[in-house]
Amino acid sequence: MKITGPSLPIAPGKIAPPIAPGVPSTGGADFLTTKLDVAVQWAQSNSLWPMPFGTACCAIEFMSVVSSHYDLARFGAEVVRFSPRQADLLIVAGTVVDKLAPVLKKIYDQMSEPKWVISMGVCACTGGFYRAYHVVQGVDEIVPVDVYVAGCPPTPENLILGIMMLQKKIQSGELARHREAKTFVPIRVGEDPVTAIPAYSNAVMAHVPGRHALPGMPPSAEDEATPGGKREMDAEIAAARGRENP
């Protein structure tokens, strides 16, 4: 079986005959070695099972992402589960208010390890423009977040980029949280809203700058210059397609 994966250290070469029946050869480039972790991470990153915790407008865009036009199946993440026990990726899509916060916490706790969280849209990331008496100012008050996806709501491309960034993180073995950091960060009462990403997190931000209103328009100078811009993302999507259909 030929395993193709972005980070598998595949050593090309001939496979030497075994030393004895049942005992493989141990010579340098004679056979393929990999760490179990790498193989597992490769498998995990390409078969994410998302559970959409969709509450508001972002949930509608999430539906667009999974439906035929944007087709999340191309990235191996199309098996949408509504039971947290069957999912390993929690996508918080939409505003989370104080009344819903304990529910989100409970759902996160019900997911089994390993698990990842994408915070989709500015409401989930920071509370957005609802700086108000009943809105959680970012879901990282409650659950650790791996990827923040910007936008109100994010465009489907942006969410896809977020998922691809998460795949990279999984393959590199990074985790957003300390394994033991399962504590519930209490909701701040009467304080000013959070302005910085909490210290325990090494989350990344998925953001496509200067997205164009119409497909086919040339990218701006800003896009060319920005890392993670439209040009780079197109290349990544093309590369991902190439991996699936060599």
Residues within the interface to another protein (CB under 8 A): 52-57, 59-61, 63-64, 67-69, 82, 94-95, 97-103, 106-107, 123, 129-135, 152-153, 155, 186-190, 192-193, 213-214
Residues 6+ apart with CB under 8 A from 154: 58, 61, 120, 121, 162, 206
Q: To the nearest whole angstrom, how small is the minimum distance from the Cβ of residue 170 to another protein?
A: 24
Q: Which is nearer to another protein, 61 or 146 (CB)?
A: 61
In whole angstroms, what is the distance from residue 108 CA to residue 29 CA? 44
| Amino acid at residue number 184 | F
Q: Which of 74, 38, 237, 50 is nearest to 147 (CA)?
A: 50
Q: Which is nearer to another protein, 39 or 82 (CB)?
A: 82
Q: To the nearest whole angstrom, how small is the minimum distance from the Cβ of residue 12 to another protein?
A: 42
**75: which DSSP letter?**
G
Q: Which is nearer to another protein, 36 or 217 (CB)?
A: 217
Q: Which is nearer to another protein, 68 or 195 (CB)?
A: 68
Cis amide linkage into residue 114, ω under 30° from 0? yes
Q: Given the structure tokens 């944007």, which residue do they identify?
A: 70
Q: To the nearest whole angstrom, how small is the minimum distance from the Cβ of residue 235 to another protein?
A: 23
Q: To the nearest whole angstrom, how small is the minimum distance from the Cβ of residue 145 to another protein?
A: 18
Q: Which is nearer to another protein, 153 or 162 (CB)?
A: 153
Q: Which is nearer to another protein, 7 or 220 (CB)?
A: 220
In whole angstroms, what is the distance from residue 190 CA to residue 187 CA? 10
Q: To the nearest whole angstrom, how small is the minimum distance from the Cβ of residue 77 to another protein?
A: 17
- Vertex 153 angle, CA 149 and 154, to 5°: 40
E-strand spans in 62-146?
Answer: 89-93, 116-120
Contact 100, 61 (CB under 8 A): no
Q: Strand, helix or coil at 116?
A: strand
Q: To the nearest whole angstrom, how small is the minimum distance from the Cβ of residue 2 to another protein?
A: 33
Q: To the nearest whole angstrom, how small is the minimum distance from the Cβ of residue 160 to another protein?
A: 14
In whole angstroms, what is the distance from residue 246 CA to residue 243 CA? 6
In whole angstroms, what is the distance from residue 82 CA to residue 141 CA? 23
Q: Which is nearer to another protein, 123 or 204 (CB)?
A: 123
